């Protein structure tokens, strides 16, 4: 439970950091950043799998590169839902989605618990 809460704090801090260093990425405060992190997780858990299945032929055709666009679409959907969070332009959205995905993967790898095999 604590690990999940810390994950949302890390993602919210990433939102805030992106707003400071990336032109076109705007967050008005910590509340929209935390709300954005939670909504992004919900969108990634519910909407993204459906779109992934629907766009699977396009993903295969582009050798997986369409997943970058899919991640950007999830971020755009999040910015449409969360007031105080906005992204200008598709290039900024794709780069921000790439950075958010990388931070999420690093966090999950760093906090992964190893399974013990009982033989």
Residue 119, pLDDT score = 63
pLDDT tens column, 13-42: 999 999 999 999 999 999 999 999 999 999
pLDDT tens column, 58-74: 999 999 999 999 999 99
Q: Where along the chain do its domains lie?
A: 2-109
Residue 47, pLDDT score = 95
Give the Cα separation of 12 and 6 in Å (integer): 10
Whether the CB-CB separation of 68 and 98 falls below 8 Å is answered with: yes
Give the Cα separation of 102 and 10 in Å (integer): 12
Residue 118, pLDDT score = 67
Whether the CB-CB separation of 92 and 24 falls below 8 Å is answered with: yes
């Amino acid at each position: 439970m604590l690990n999940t809460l810390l994950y949302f704090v890390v993602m919210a801090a990433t939102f805030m950091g992106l707003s400071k260093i990336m032109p076109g990425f705007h967050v008005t405060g910590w509340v929209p950043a935390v709300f954005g992190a939670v909504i992004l997780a919900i969108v990634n858990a519910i909407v993204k799998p459906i779109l992934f299945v629907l766009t699977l032929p396009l993903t295969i055709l582009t050798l997986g590169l369409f997943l970058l666009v899919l991640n950007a679409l999830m971020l755009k959907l999040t910015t449409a839902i969360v007031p105080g969070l906005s992204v200008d332009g598709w290039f900024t959205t794709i780069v921000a989605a790439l950075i958010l995905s990388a931070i999420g993967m690093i966090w999950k790898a760093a906090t992964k618990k190893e399974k013990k095999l009982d033989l």
